[in-house]
Each structure stands twice: as structure tokens, then as C-alpha cells.
A and B are shown apart, each in its own frame.
Chain A
Amino acid sequence: EIVLTQSPSTLSLSPGERATLSCRASQSVSSNYLAWYQQKPGQAPRFLIYGASSRATGIPDRFSGSGSGTDFTLTISRLEPEDFAVYYCQQYGSSPLYSFGQGTNLEIK
């Protein structure tokens, strides 16, 4: 079973700062099968990144993804007020078929 561990659990930053969120897998994950989502309170998740580094349609270029193997990163270059939310990484694999990290809460400092 592949387990995704996100760090930190909570990240406190100010608008304009750079955010770096980590996602570590217990086994190697194909880069093609690693995605990131943003979720705001009371809303459905929003698809941000697929294939570890490709932005989904309509996602601003301040969002970028990187990594391979077991270590992946979501970077937000300059935080906007609307970026404060919970972020999840997700992988597609054999067991379970899909799994999510526990989330990183990006909060305003």
C-alpha cells in the first residue's frame, strides 16, 4: 500500500511570500500519476497539477509542481490572498488504486 505523507501539516505565511509544500510517498510513484488539489472550506477540491509538474487548465503560473520517485513538491511563487487553503497530493497506483496525502493547511500569518 502506497502512503503519501505531506509536510508540513500547517504552513503559516504572508501574502507575497513563497510557499513550498512537500509530498513524500512510501514507495516510488510514477510522475505521470501524481496530482495536486486545492480545497477551500465548504468547497469541492480544485484540480491544480497533474503529471507531477503540468498545470491544469486555468491554473495561474505562480503554481508549479516538481519531483519524482518518492519526493514531490508544490510551490506557490508569490502567495495571493485566495491561495490560502488546504492542499492535497494524490497518486494513482496498485494498492490502493488512488490515495491522497493528509493535506497541508496553508494559513495566513
Chain B
Amino acid sequence: EVQLVESGGGLVKPGGSLRLSCAASGFTFSNAWMSWVRQGPGKGLEWVGRIKSKTGGGTTDYAAPVKGRFTVSRDDSINTLYLQMNSLKMEDTGVYYCAAGDYGGFHIWGQGTMVSVSS
């Protein structure tokens, strides 16, 4: 079964850090371009960042609101994607999804993990 499972969400104070993980199974993770997409409470979808496959260059790109604070990485040996979030702000609150796909769209999604930034 093709699956993405996120973990690591929780409650953190403004200025704090959190690391999210996304475990992949059922497909060739090492070949996949992977992204993080978030959704604030009652809001729409917002792309956060992407990492290409190693064969695609392994490069990362970020949305402007998180650039310099968030880092996307991957460990293909254990089929896991990461999102390191530093200097968290209240507006970073939301459900964080990992998703697989390239320029054609995100064809596989995880169930999401909730991040709450509050004092």
C-alpha cells in the first residue's frame, strides 16, 4: 500500500523549534520529489518547501514565508522526509502534510500532523 505517515507535531512556543518526519512506504521513495504543504485553521493549502530526488539533483526550494527558518531534508536509506522548523511564529500554526510529486502535482499525501505555535 502506498503510504505517507507524518509525525512530530505538537505545541511549541513562539521562537521555538520542531522537527517533523514523514515515513514513506509502497513506492520508490528515493525517486520521488517530496514537498511539505500546510493548512492553517480554516484556511486553504500553502506549499512550504520541496526537495528533489538525489538523481534530480537533491536541491531544495522554499516558500518566501519560511525561507531561512525551515529546512527540508531526506534520508533515502530509511525512506523518510524531514522538516526542521526553527524560529516558529504563531502564523506557522496548522496541519502539515507531506506529499509526493513533481511539476505534475502531488499524487500521494500523508494524513497530516498538527503544529500549534502559542505562548
Contact = CB atoms under 8 A, between A and B. Distances in A.
A45 B37 CA distance: 10
A95 B65 CA distance: 13
B44 interface: yes
A56 B110 CA distance: 17
Nearest to A30: B103
Question: Looking at chain A, what size class is its interface with the partner chain?
Answer: 20 to 34
A32 interface: yes
Contacts, number: 65
Contacts of A51: 104
A19 B117 CA distance: 38
A96 B109 contact: no
A33 B61 CA distance: 17
A56 B45 CA distance: 19
Nearest to A35: B105
A97 B44 contact: no
Contacts of B104: 32-33, 35, 50-51, 92
Interface of A: 32-33, 35, 37, 39, 43-47, 49-51, 56-57, 88, 90, 92, 96-103
